[in-house]
């Protein structure tokens, strides 16, 4: 597969002329979901879920469909009957040639006073795992972990331990729009030295084969 990093948490995966997009949220490019055959959204927070971007992608491609949790699906299912699918932990499906497994149930704790919402992660083709806003460890080997490096709900020690627990072949940064260029070398060095896996990051629009 060809993996293309978009701004913040959004990722595009392409193979055999088909395209899968995860989390085209409000921090990502306006056209982040354009051309998608498969759309996946991990949870309802606006940096992961932008209704306008999803509507545009579904309207432009009548064959495209969305898989997500109920809190997001309920906002779009009436407008796109039969094309918005609700999924949860333990589900699996095949869409446009991509095999997807669903892992996880809850968003990471931001603060004990803030109620937790639902969050799911997606493992694509048994290879690339995007956890959304959680440190979910799937019960399946992971080749490429999309690693949420910087958020109000995490700290770098948790990120490093998460890489150690998942044990991917490589970890590629996502959820990084709030991480300044000044801090990036610190994160690169510490995660790379302590995580136990190849660690890298892609600039928005940059791609690599996985």
Look-up of token digits 């606006």: 46
CB crowding 185-208: b at 16 or more within 10 Å, else e: eebeeebbeebbbebebbeeeeee
CB 206 within 8 A of CB 179: no
Q: Would you state the pLDDT for residue 20?
A: 98
Domain boundaries, the chain: 2-147
pLDDT tens sequence across 192-205: 999 999 999 999 99
pLDDT tens sequence across 143-164: 999 999 999 999 999 999 999 9
pTM for the predicted model, two decimal places: 0.97
* Closest to 128 measured CA to CA, from 32, 14, 7: 14
For domain 2-147, give the CATH superfamily. Answer: Ribonuclease Z/Hydroxyacylglutathione hydrolase-like (3.60.15.10)
Look-up of token digits 């193979």: 15
Cα 38 from Cα 115, distance rounded (Å): 30
CA distance to 5, 64, 109, 163, 189, per residue, from 24 (Å): 11, 14, 22, 24, 28
CB 47 within 8 A of CB 26: yes
pLDDT tens sequence across 23-47: 999 999 999 999 999 999 999 999 9
pLDDT tens sequence across 49-107: 999 999 999 999 999 999 999 999 999 999 999 999 999 999 999 999 999 999 999 99
Q: How many Cβ atoms from other residues are within 10 Å of residue 63's Cβ?
A: 8
3-state helix, strand, coil in the chain (%, to 5): 15, 30, 55
* Closest to 29 measured CA to CA, from 13, 9, 58: 9
CA dihedral 178, 121, 123, 71 (to 10 degrees): -110
């Amino acid at each position: 597969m060809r993996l293309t990093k978009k701004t913040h948490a959004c990722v595009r995966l392409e193979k055999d002329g088909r395209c899968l997009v995860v989390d085209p949220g409000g921090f990502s490019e306006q056209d982040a979901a354009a051309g998608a055959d498969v759309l996946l959204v991990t949870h309802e927070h606006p940096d992961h879920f932008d209704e306008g971007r999803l509507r545009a992608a579904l309207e432009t491609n009548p064959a495209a469909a969305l898989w997500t949790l109920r809190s997001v699906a309920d906002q779009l299912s009436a407008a796109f009957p039969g094309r918005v699918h609700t999924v949860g932990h333990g589900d699996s499906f095949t869409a446009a040639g991509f095999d997807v497994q669903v892992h996880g149930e809850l968003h990471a704790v931001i603060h004990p006073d803030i109620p937790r919402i639902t969050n799911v992660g997606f493992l694509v083709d048994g290879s690339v795992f995007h956890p959304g806003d959680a440190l979910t460890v799937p019960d399946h080997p992971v080749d490429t972990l999309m690693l949420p490096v910087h958020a109000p709900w995490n700290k770098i020690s948790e990120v490093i331990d998460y890489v150690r627990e998942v044990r991917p072949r490589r970890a590629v940064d996502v959820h990084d729009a709030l991480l300044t260029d000044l801090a990036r070398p610190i994160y690169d060095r510490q995660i790379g030295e302590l995580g136990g896996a190849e660690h890298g990051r892609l600039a928005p629009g940059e791609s690599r084969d996985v």
